[in-house]
Structure 1
Amino acid sequence: MERFMGAFDRSERLLAMTDETWARHANPWSGWSRLSVLPLLSLAAFSRLWLGWYWLLLLALVLLWTFLNPRLFPETAKRDNWMSRGVLGERTWIENRTDPRLAHHAPVVKTLTGLTAAGTLVLLVGLVVLNLSLTLTGLAVTMLGKLWLLDRMTWVQRDMAP
């Protein structure tokens, strides 16, 4: 179980998420626009068909967008929307996942993380072999898993609210 849950910690460290970054990322514009990352990564990978090695420039731009996205938007005072609650719930989960009040979420989070990982694997295979059907299937499963997990994080945030 900890193997799945450690993915959240690794992502947070990789993206250097600070208190200020999380506050900015809770802006719904940041959360919603972040959903563009996987489709853009997929497009960048497929662009190697017509761009050759220059596709790596697109990849670099997408990776830069991934890093900058939670930093570009201002902190928002309104956090009573679904996306903000989901983003704040992710942070709450990372910081408190062993809290007994969240224990009932762990099996669902583990399942949804597994679903997302399976979709990501199919997506990666599709991108490596340039198979559009596998790519779109993997993308759909990954995005569904991510959005469903984000919805669960709204529950986490609600359960830990004072």
Structure 2
Amino acid sequence: MAYEQAMASAFGMDERTWARHANPWSVWTRNTGLPLLILAIWSRTWLGGWAAPAVVLAMLWIWINPRLFPVPASTDNWASRAVLGERVWLARGQVPVPPHHRRMPHLLSAVAALGLPFLAWGLYHLQIWPTLFGTLLVFCGKLWFLDRMVWLYGEMKDAHPDYRRWLY
């Protein structure tokens, strides 16, 4: 759990940022972050040293995305519930989650993490297939993880007063 908390802290995910990130536009456009970063890294072949600013811009997009959109008018949708579920998952040390939700998020995070070496190798060697395979593993793991977070939130929304108020 320390890793997940560290990531949330690194991204400065406070209450307001989480509320804004629950906007479906934030959730769906955040999926552009990895492809933009991949493109920026790959662009070293035609941009040379100018690829570095492209990498910085892609990373800035990943950081700014949860802050860019307003708090949604409603969180009663799949994307918002995925974000709310992530918050529940991060708080599982304070409010335990049901036993059937304790293993799968770790496995899905491992699937996503398993894609990173392929992705890194493919980008370093400019090989399309490992890059695509790694990207596929990262996206499949993350999107399936988000789907599990929707399920988790659905079961946990009445377990804590804060969880209940997040849904409107």
TM-score by length of 2: 0.90
- Residue of structure 2 in register with 1:67 after alignment: 63
Map 1:1-162 to 2 at 5 A: 5-97=1-93, 99-162=95-158
Alignment RMSD? 1.2
Which secondary structure state, in structure 2, belongs to the residue aligned with residue 96 of structure 1? coil
23-32 vs 95-104, which deviates more?
A: 95-104
Does the CA-based 8 Å contact 2:41-2:51 persist in structure 1? yes
| Structure 2 unmatched runs, 5+ | 159-168
Give me the whole-angstrom Cα distance separating, in 1, the residues matched to 2:34 and 2:90: 22
Matching residue's letter, 1:27? N
Aligned length: 158
Asked whether the 8 Å contact 1:97–1:103 carries over to 2, the reply is: no
Query: What 5-or-longer segments of structure 1 have no aligned partner?
Result: none
Q: Could you tell me how far 1:9 is from its partner in structure 2?
A: 1.2
**TM-score by structure 1 length?**
0.93
Higher percent of residues as helix = 1
- Greater alpha carbon shift after TM alignment, 129-138 vs 23-32: 129-138
Distance 2:47 2:119 in 1: 20
Displacement of 1:97 after TM fit?
A: 4.9
Residue by residue over 1:5-43, the C-alpha shift from the partner in whole angstroms, topping out at 9 and shown as x without a partner, is 433212101101010000000000000000001111110
Q: Which amino acid aligns with 1:89?
A: G
Compared with structure 1, are the counterparts of its residues 120 and 97 closer, same or farther at alpha carbon in structure 2 (3 Å cutoff)? farther
Letter in 2 for 1:138: G
Identity of aligned residues (%): 44
**For residues 112 and 97 of structure 1, what CA distance do their matches in structure 2 show?**
19
- Does the CA contact (< 8 Å) of 2:89 and 2:97 recur in 1? no
- Shifted more, 117-126 versus 40-49: the winner is 117-126
- Partner in structure 1 of residue 166 of structure 2: none
Distance 2:10 2:98 in 1: 25
